[in-house]
Amino acid sequence: MRTYAKPVAAVTGALALAASLTACGGSSAASDEKVVTVYSADGLKGEKGDGWYDKVFADFEKETGIKVKYVEGGSGEMVQRALREKSNTQADVLVTLPPFIQQAGSKGLLQTYTPKGADQVDGADKAPDGSWTSVVNNYFGFIHNKKELPEAPGTWEALLDAKYKDKLQYSTPGVAGDGTAVLIKALHDFGGQAPAMEYLKKLQANNVGPSSSTSKLAPKVDKGELLVANGDVQMNFAQAASMPNLAIWFPAKEGGRPTTFALPYAAGLVDKAPHTENGKKLLDFMLAERAQREVSAVGGGFPARKDVKPTDANALALAKLMEGVEVFEPDWADIDANLSSYVDAWKSATGS
């Protein structure tokens, strides 16, 4: 496992269908419809209709007349759904986290399209073959209840304390993007598969159990049902606006610095999309300067475009949050090739 550092976010979830889908299939009649269907990892749509997606989709519909139909779930779940529908494609745009966006590309689910503005996205945040481009940057993190637990645990080792028994939960690797991120970060921080699995086996004594949805863990932490859970910076920062007891932190290996890595929301045009032209328009719209300037102010995330440098209050708070945190770049090619074996090793170690 090579997850070594170079500076460079869920993901989760029980399937939520925000709008009913019509069986489009790719006919000429379907291609003329004023609609675009998005399959996405959760985190960018607000609990109260106040998220980045809510704003961008409303603006897009007003400007183009094209209605956005939205389906939300875990990163792996969305890829698997698109894969099952490959012979009768329903989605036009797929938005998911690494390594699932790479998985979607390798399984032939995406077609090549370079949105306008993609030249301002760093090379590490887009596919070399043009099959996907990040639209919102983000980072892996953990949360704690700052009322019941004023100081963050700080280290992985601290989470083994008995006071966290049945008060700690992380979403399921291989299903949720953020849950898979727990596995990736443990592999990096502990220096390989064997020590990472040894640690996660010990941690299982405190773990409440599997969760397909990372976003559903934050309300439990806010209420004090859990003291600690995994998440990602963008989603948890946005949730904290209505969940005052949430605080974000980054685990460190004992004696080391806190670390994280980028988990961008990456978007691609689905192969044989029933509304390809509408999908292209939405990708252009999400990466346009106006929408990118709203990523922090509205969505609590980081713009994907390097030429967009917001100075709103959220952007300043996010920059402060990341101070002193070491950012590494995982070897996504290795993870894409070996994810199944890493997840199997996790299942074996934890008895999941």
Q: Given the structure tokens 């675009």, which residue do they identify?
A: 36
User: Per-residue pLDDT for 127 more than 50?
Assistant: yes
* Range with lowest mean pLDDT among 22-26, 56-60, 112-116, 179-183: 22-26
User: Per-residue pLDDT for 9 more than 80?
Assistant: no
Question: CA 206, CA 208: separation in Å to the nearest integer?
Answer: 6
pLDDT at 48 (0 to 100): 86
Is residue 31 very low, low, confident or very high in pLDDT (cuts 50, 70, 90)? low
Question: CA 207, CA 304: separation in Å to the nearest integer?
Answer: 34
Give the model confidence (pLDDT) of 66-106 as tens digits.
999 999 998 889 999 999 999 999 999 999 999 999 999 99
pLDDT at 6 (0 to 100): 36
Q: Which residues are CB-neighbours of 15 under 8 A, at least 6 positions away?
A: 71, 72, 73, 77, 81
Give the model confidence (pLDDT) of 194-205 as tens digits.
999 999 999 999
User: Per-residue pLDDT for 29 more than 70?
Assistant: no
Q: What is the pTM of this model?
A: 0.83
User: Per-residue pLDDT for 251 more than 50?
Assistant: yes
Q: Is the Cβ–Cβ distance between 80 and 135 less than 8 Å?
A: no
Question: CA 304, CA 79: separation in Å to the nearest integer?
Answer: 22
pLDDT at 273 (0 to 100): 97
Question: Mutual orientation of helices 177-190 and 75-84 as an angle, nearest 10°?
Answer: 120
Question: CA 263, CA 137: separation in Å to the nearest integer?
Answer: 7
pLDDT at 32 (0 to 100): 65
Mean pLDDT estimate for the chain: 91
Q: Which residues are CB-neighbours of 84 under 8 A, at least 6 positions away?
A: none
Is residue 7 very low, low, confident or very high in pLDDT (cuts 50, 70, 90)? very low
pLDDT at 175 (0 to 100): 87
